[in-house]
Amino acid sequence: MARKHVGRDFFWIVACALTGYGCIVEGEFLEDIVPSGADLGTSALASRCGDGVRQGREACDDGNTAAGDGCDTVCVVEPCWKCAEPVPGARSACGPQCDAAAGQSCLMGVCVSCKDGLRNGDETDVDCGGSCGACDQGHACGAGGDCATGFCSGGVCCNEACGAACVRCDLPGAAGICAYVPENEAHEDRACGGGTSACDGKGACKSIARQACAMGIECLSGRCLGGACQ
C-alpha cells in the first residue's frame, strides 16, 4: 500500500509500474509540496498484484500471483472462474463460474447445460447429442452415438441406417424416417445426379436419357435402345 507521512514535511513517494507487478517505494524529504487531505486519492496510489487488495486495473486480487486458482499471475480473472470481494478492500474470493449443481459445465468461458433449452457445448441439437443424452429421431446428429436409434443419416437421427443411393432421412414432412427420394430428383450426397443420373422414386439411382446403357433396368425410363437410355 502507498503511504504518506505529512507530520514533519516528510512524504513517501510511491512509484508503481502500470502493469501492477510491483512498486518502488522511496522516502524523500520534500518541503512545502505535500498535498493536503483528499489530494492523494486512492486512484493515485499504488496497486500491486498479489497484495490481497483489488485496485487500479486489477480485475481480481486473491493475495497471490499464482495461476490456476481463478485469479492469474497478473490479477486477471481466469476463464471459467468468477471472483468477487465480500467487501470493498478485501481480497478477492474466486470460484467456478458455472453452477455444477444445476448441471452446468463451463466451455471456453460460457456456461452450458443439457437442459437450458439451447444448443451449446458439444450438443448436436438442442440439449441432446454429444455428451448430453441421445437425440430423438429427426433431430440433428453427427454420429450414430448421438441418436437414440443409433442411426445418423445425412446429419439427422433416423429410424434405420438409411444408406442406399436414393433414400434420405431429412425429407420435408418425414424428418427422422428413411424415405425414397422422389422420382427424377438427384441425391448428390450419394453420387446420384450430376446430369447423368437421377433417383427412380423407389430408392435406386438410374441413368437419364442419352446415357450409355446395356439393359433397360439401368435407365430411369426403363428403356435402353442402341446402347443409350431413352
Contact residues toward Ca ion (CB under 5 A) are: 47, 51, 53, 61-62, 64, 66, 69, 71, 116, 118, 120, 127
Q: What is the dihedral of CA 181, 184, 186, 191, to 10 degrees?
A: 100
Give CA separation, 112 vs 75, 134, 214, in Å.
26, 17, 58
Closest distance to Ca ion from the beta carbon of 108 (Å): 14
Residue nearest to Ca ion (CB): 61
Closest distance to Ca ion from the beta carbon of 27 (Å): 22
Nearer of residues 63 and 201 to Ca ion, judged by Cβ: 63
Nearer of residues 53 and 220 to Ca ion, judged by Cβ: 53
Integer Cα distance of 153 and 73 in angstroms:
48
Question: Is the separation of the CB atoms in 197 and 206 below 8 Å?
Answer: yes
Integer Cα distance of 214 and 202 in angstroms:
21
Nearer of residues 45 and 165 to Ca ion, judged by Cβ: 45
Closest distance to Ca ion from the beta carbon of 22 (Å): 10
Nearer of residues 47 and 149 to Ca ion, judged by Cβ: 47
Closest distance to Ca ion from the beta carbon of 170 (Å): 22
Read off the C-alpha cell for 92: 478477492
Other residues' Cβ atoms within 10 Å of the Cβ of residue 167: 24
Closest distance to Ca ion from the beta carbon of 175 (Å): 20
Q: Which residue from 70, 90, 15, 13 is spatially nearest to 47, judged by alpha carbons?
A: 15
Integer Cα distance of 60 and 84 in angstroms:
7
Nearer of residues 90 and 208 to Ca ion, judged by Cβ: 90
